[in-house]
Amino acid sequence: MRIFKRCVVALAATSLGACSLDLQNPNSPTQEQVTTSPDGVIALATGLQGRFAASYFNYAYMAGVVTDEFAATAAALISISDAEQGLVPPGTGIADNVFNSLYRTIRTADDLLSGADRLAGSFDAGTRSGLKALAYAVKAEALGEALQSYQRIPANTFGVTAPTYVSRAEALPIVRALLDSAAAQLAGTAPSAFFTSSILTPGVNLANMIQVFRARYARMAGDDATALAAANLVARSGTSAISAFTFPAPGVNPYANVTGGTNGIAVRRQFRTSMLPQDQRFGFFVIPSATLFGRIQTTPLDPFSTRYAVANATFLVYMPDEALLIKAEALANQGNLAGSQAALDSVRTDCTGGRGLDDPKACLPALVGSLTQAQLLTEIYAQRRYELLGTGLRWEDSRRRNAIRGPVAAPALPVDGQRCWLPYAIGDRNANPNVPADPTEPAANPAGVGCPL
Amino acid sequence: MTALFVRRAWCAVGMLIAAPLALSAQAATGTIRGKVTEASSGRGLAEAQIQVVGTRVGALSQASGEYVLTAVPVGARVVQIRRIGFQPVNKTVQVVAGATATVDAALSVSAINLSEVVVTGTASPTEKRRVGTSIATVDSTVISKAQAMTVDQALQGKIAGAQITQNSGGPGGGGISVRLRGTNSFISGSDPLYIIDGVIVDNGSAQLSDLGGRSNPQNRLADINPADIDRIEIIRGAAAAALYGSRANNGVVQIFTKRGLIGKPRVTFSTRLGTNELREQQPFNFYPYDVNGNPIARFNLQDDIFRRSPTYEQNLTVEGGNDATRYFVSVNATEDQGIIRSTESRRQGARLNLQQQLSSTLIANVSTNFVTTRNQLQAFGEQNDYGIMGSLFFAPTQTDFRPLNGIYPLPPALGTNPLLAIARIRNPQTVNRFIGSAKFTWTPVPKLLVDYTAGVDNAAFEQGQFIPRNAVLGTGPLSTGQSQSVFQNTRVLNQDLVSTYSWNPGSEFEWKSTAGLNYTQQSINLTQSGANGLAPVGELVSAGSVPFGAQRRTQLRTLGFFGQQELAAWNKLFLTAAVRYDASSTFAPAQRWQAFPKFSASFVALENRPGLLNSVRLRSALGWAGSQPGSTNAYSQFVTYSNSAFGGRPGFVNDVTFGNENLKNERAREWELGTEIGGFGGRVGVEATYYDRLVSDLLFFKPLPTSTGFSRQFAPIGTMSNKGIELLVRTVNIDRKDLRWESTVTYTRNRNKVESLNILDFQSAGGYPNRIRTGEPAGVFYGSYAARNCVTGALLLDSLGRYRRSNQTADMGLTLAARQALSGGTCNDSLNKVIGDPNPSWLGSILNEFTIAKKLRLRALFDGSFGNDILNLSTRAQNAGIASNSKSYERELLPYGDARKLAPNFNGRTQGIFEYWVEDGSFVKLREVSASYTLDWAPVKRLFREGVDLTVSGRNLWVWTKYSGYDPEITLFGTNAGGFGSVQTTSADRGIDFGGYPIPRVWSVSARFTY
């Protein structure tokens, strides 16, 4: 009996402590743990760069498939060969991946911004400046990629239950303002050595990246002065001119994942065959083939070069010569034809050894004579095609050149772009009442048309 | 803080309810002894409960039927004698101090028994007649006669209102799911709460390595030895289970193990030897020509995969005791070889149950059970890289899989070489499990009963895996070989305290007040280590060159208090009101504490009257209960981040499943109305119940706008109802000295309906057509169909006589106008539609038992399911282009001119038409059949006290069905787990036959010796 009494008392005593129902999740860090500690916020910056690499790739992949850059390999899913013909029904995985991953990147950038502000006192000024500049720049580029894929996009999503969609005219200034904020951060306080060496992914030059993005969206907005100024701020040579994500094992360069299997794509052979015979740039991107054909049997393909198809290859954040091409275009628009032609020639004549960069090298001769403004712009578009493969910029170029044909079955040779926009993501449509109706694609038009913005 | 303090205070108060009360009562006493016999045979009846009414003096009869009651207070006493399955008897006796009175009783069988004592859902032992809900009870004889490998298998066809499905036929009982009154939740399976001797036990079906995606190789109830079980009580729904609070929505199955019979030590040894075999092979394409008409050899892989395999079982029990001490000791060993070669399950267990009277007021009951289950399994179901069944269905019959030069050829497109898998792939499992409980029953004064139970269920589960290099197609990591070792330790601790006080305000009335508390803590710790890139020799992880690993810890706690008030009037009307106040750590603090009330009434209109109508009882109950998500969603209330390393550095990103900081439990409201009627002198008993249940705040993943950077949230998504009828009829058709014939018939009808959803319809099982859709039963098949002419109803065919697929523009035209012109109406307007329903219209069973000359017993159980559809994805796989091994594909190979000839790609085009694969899954099974003979000649009885029982039995012997697959009962999705990995499934997903492990036909002979 006494033993029983003791048992009851002992049990009551021990059970009191065990009665707490407030448990912590030991498997995953909570919001509080991540966003209120400096370590957590720094880890968010790494997570952000990873998400940015993934979303940029998803965008570039999809843009390449709906333009004349990429086509499905034989083992690929039917949805990819449909997309290369411009058929992208709502719910297509590779299209929804673009939207979903871009907005995950944006979410993480917002998380990082709010964390850097909340813990302002825990970071030195240079580290905080670097964190914020990185977040602004990446968020801006993700929004920019969204507005190059969708007719309308949600611009304000952080802490919003049902984000609303805005037009490109409303979204583009937001993107540019974010990039200006990024540039202003760096201009105000230079990033600390700790940020540059321990937070920023090795191989990425943040200042250069911000200026390339500023030039890119200034050009899109028709602001030639800003585009020119920003392009001039981009380093042209040396290691600082290159920004590339690296993928030490077990990381895998995203292009290496899609050179085969059900998501397999390759470069349309026409990319290489349409170049001038002397143009050497194909070697950067592809290995010439005479035998590789796509899922649609009439599509001749070239497999990706080892710069892409290898697991630990780097993934360029932008092509260094994009800045030169933007500069050339801005100068041409401003009437400085000689300056434009000079900038263009420096792209054309870039050759082995050139500026010391591992980038596409045309090794073409300089242009002969003085080109007119129209000739210059045509040449700029052509150079952009061969210089910027796999960056997603081809899609916007075909859109602004009214070279979108609209979906058509099994195009023998596609025009520049097959469709104007992607349908809005099913994941947003199913849960967000503010998603607009999917825009109507233009009817098949061999001459190509522009897209309603 | 205040709330926390209040909870702690409650906790303390609850724990101290059992504060000792002083008591002592000495008075003059006498003794009663006697013998309880079965009226029809005169044989002694063991385990009859003899109670002196109004005192706490009671005893159980020994194996011989004899009993002794000591310390009976003197005076005129009423002795009540009760036993399950018999009509109770009350006898009056005069007890004289120091003298011994004799009370013998002969009990008659009763088809209906209102005096049976139940404890599940009633807080304290209570006669059935007082309980306003239906409670199903099954005793040990029913379980032992089933000759089943597992407890849940033994219950098949025995319980009205239960759909007990053997999802797979693997060794050791396969995977079994139990649905009581339909599907009531989408999460954590819809399986009931299992309690063994007061211990909540884990019935998970976790796969620690991929043994078939979401398929169900085995659930952990398989660790329980059916021969140890004395009795099972089943309460089916919220009204009956309100006292179990936030876990009771799916009902409760409470298992009581044997306590030991009072008397001299009894040693029983039983042994069973049986064979498992594939019931019948499936037809395959054995056409001796290929598609070009050239002669080719074809192979029947089924001969190489399946086998006739042995199954053994041995049980040794020793039991005995006296009024103060009872014990039951058992040792058990089984070995069940699967019908797929290289699969087997072995279980070895021991149990010691001890009951000890510590003092005149205190009884201790200790149960301990240790079991080791060792399995060697092969993957099936969704596992198509190295799963055997998938490889069988996807392999062309012209592939010769026999090894050449020691190398096993791989199939051309999908799966592995089944012969290679059988010879080399290994998925060993070891479960070391201890289940133990201690229960103290204290009756300080006759009217106060205090029960305290503490229990533990601790299972250490190790899953190994070895896949040699070059056993899987392709160039992925699996093709380089894989070795894994995964450990999962699951521990459930629980404590229960119940105190009951009864008093009689007047002679016509009786009050009973109960208060209790319950605390459960479950922890699951998992550690995985594995590697790919295996060396040519070596099967352990250390043989690998590309390591991987994982760790996960989960804890769940539930704390609940309850109070119950019962009122009995004139021993005819019984009213109960109760409430459970309950909280689980899974839910958000602000939502956590929930009250679950219940109200019930029982009215006994007639009881034990002679003549045509003997007993009539009416009952009704209304109650609420909840359900908790399982361990997978234990932390869904937290907004968490995921690890996302990049560039060789650790990183975090928001988890795309957004935590729900207001997470609360599902809530079921159930109302039931029922009756028990006994008639024809105890020879006919009917139990009937109607129920109506509405579950609200159903938890599942609610899509979030992906523009927020999240994609879903675990949140309430809707409501669902189940309404139905349960009927059980027991009859004694013939009751003569030399022939007795009893029958039991069950009928179960349930109508499930998704009443409302606050999200869009959704495909509940990722990749399969099961769908949750407002207004339809949960899990209906929704998908593409073969278009029909809207006027004639005839199938629309293309120029080659092939079907037109509803969601294919190539078949139906680009525009709606084109579709309608082709269809002659609007009947094909939708791209997809509801094409089938896996939920049965009704279930039924008939059990007939014959006893001839008291020595030969014959029994047969037929069990059936009616009106349910099955999606036959196994045969669909056979028709896939890479396989082309179906019987139907043979018809494409026939020469032109043959009337049976099908157009080229006829079968290939059916792949996308899901309606084509929907079949009627109704079936009737001869579930159990047995013949037992008792050898009781004098020479035998001299050696074996009760003779020797010899039994020949069979399980799953015949199936009557139109279904064309191996077995209409097997289904892809399992019980409790969402499956391996995080692929979406709900517990509504049923009726998918995809690479299932066929259920064997079992023949066995057994013998039982009692010393």
* Model confidence pLDDT, tens digit, residues A25-81: 999 999 889 999 999 999 999 999 999 999 999 999 999 999 999 999 988 888 898
Give residue B142's pLDDT.
86
Q: What is the pLDDT of residue B369?
A: 96
Is 80 exceeded by the pLDDT of residue A125? yes
Q: Collect contacts of A293-297 with beta carbons under 8 A, ≥24 apart.
A: A293/A74, A294/A71, A294/A72, A294/A73, A294/A74, A294/A76, A294/A81, A294/A84, A294/A266, A295/A71, A295/A72, A295/A73, A295/A74, A295/A75, A295/A76, A295/A78, A295/A80, A295/A81, A296/A71, A296/A72, A296/A81, A296/A84, A296/A85, A296/A410
DSSP string across A221-276: TT-HHHHHHHHHHS--SSGGG--EE---TT---GGGGGSSGGG-EEEEHHHHHTS-
* Residue A296 to residues A292, A301, B462, B534, Cα–Cα distance (Å): 11, 11, 48, 38
CB burial class (10 A; 0-12, 13-18, 19+) of residue B147?
Answer: buried
* Residues A201, B16: C-beta atoms closer than 8 Å: no
**In 3D, which of A242, A244, A138, A238 has the Cα closest to residue A185?**
A138
Q: In chain A, positions 381-440, which contact chain B (CB-CB < 8 Å)?
A: 425, 427-428, 430-432, 435
Nearest CA in chain A to B641: A29
What is the rounded CA–CA span in Å between residue B917 and residue A69?
41
DSSP of A120-184: GGGS-HHHHHHHHHHHHHHHHHHHHHHHTT-SEEE---TT-SSPPEEEHHHHHHHHHHHHHHHHH
Distance between A334 CA and the closest CA of chain B, angstroms: 38
- Tell me: pLDDT of A411 over 70: no
H runs (alpha helix) in B372-462: 388-394, 418-424
Residue A17: pLDDT over 80: no
Asked if the model's pLDDT at residue A312 lies above 80, the reply is yes
Among A47, A111, A427, whose Cβ lies nearest the Cβ of B644?
A47
What gap in Å lies between CA A131 and CA A122, rounded to an integer? 13
- Report CB contact under 8 Å: A19, B559: yes
Q: Does A28 sit within 8 Å of B635, measured CB to CB?
A: yes
Spatial separation of the C-alpha atoms in residues A394 and B177, rounded to whole Å = 55
Give contacts of A44 with chain B, Cβ < 8 Å: 641, 651-653
Whether residues B640 and A162 touch (CB distance < 8 A) is answered with: no
Nearest beta carbon to residue A428 from set B555, B592, B707? B707
Residue A446 predicted with pLDDT over 80: no
Does B646 contact A49 at a Cβ distance shorter than 8 Å? Answer: yes
Report the pLDDT value the prediction gives residue A15, as an integer from 0 to 100. Answer: 52
Q: Is A97 helix (H, G, I), strand (E, B) or coil?
A: helix
Partners of B12 on chain A (C-beta within 8 Å) are: 12, 16
**Which of A1, A31, A153 should we substitute to test contact with B (largest number of B Cβ atoms within 10 Å)?**
A31
Question: Given an 8 Å threshold on Cβ–Cβ distance, is B646 in contact with A34?
Answer: no
Confidence band of A439 (pLDDT split at 50, 70, 90): very high
List average pLDDT for each run of 10 residues in chain B, which is 1011 residues long.
Answer: 45 39 52 85 81 80 86 87 80 88 84 78 83 89 87 91 92 90 82 90 86 86 93 88 84 92 88 96 93 92 96 95 90 96 96 94 95 95 90 92 92 90 96 96 91 95 95 89 96 94 87 93 95 94 94 93 94 94 93 93 89 92 89 89 92 94 93 93 92 94 94 94 96 87 96 95 86 94 94 92 89 88 92 95 96 90 96 91 88 90 89 94 96 88 85 95 95 64 74 94 94 81
- Decide if A256 contacts A351 (C-beta within 8 A): no
What is the average pLDDT across A403-425? 80
Distance from CA of A244 to the nearest CA of B (A): 11
Task: Report the C-alpha gap between A168 and A175 in whole angstroms.
Answer: 10
Q: CB–CB of B656 and A160 under 8 A?
A: no
Backbone angles phi, psi at B52, to 5 degrees: -85, 115
pLDDT of residue B323: 78
Smallest Cα distance from A300 to chain B, Å: 25
Q: Do A15 and B635 touch (CB under 8 A)?
A: no
Instruction: Give the predicted TM-score (pTM) of the model.
Output: 0.88
Nearest CA in chain A to B555: A23
- Residue B204 half-sphere exposure toward CB, CA atoms < 13 A: 26
Distance CA A137, CA A191 (A): 14
- Cβ of A8 within 8 Å of Cβ of B8? The answer is no
Q: Which two tokens stand for residue A397?
A: 């170029």
What average pLDDT does chain A have?
Answer: 91
Within 8 A of A53 by CB-CB distance, chain B residues are 646
Give A112→chain B minimum CA distance, Å. Answer: 10
| Closest by CA position to B8, among listed A49, A316, A18, A449 | A18
| Cα end-to-end distance, chain B, whole Å | 63
Nearest CA in chain A to B548: A250
Inter-chain touch B20–A1, beta carbons under 8 Å: yes
To the nearest 10°, the Cα dihedral for B260, B262, B263, B264?
20
For residue A445, what pLDDT is reported? 74
Q: Supply the pLDDT for residue A410.
A: 58
Which pLDDT does position A2 carry in this prediction?
53
Calculate mean pLDDT across residues A351-363: 85
**Alpha-carbon gap: A224 to the closest alpha carbon of chain B (Å):** 32
Set of chain B residues whose Cβ sits within 8 Å of the Cβ of A47: 641, 644, 646, 651-653
The two tokens of residue A62 are 């999809």
Give the pLDDT band of residue A12 (cuts 50, 70, 90).
low
Task: Answer positive or negative: Cα dihedral of A399, A403, A407, A413.
Answer: negative
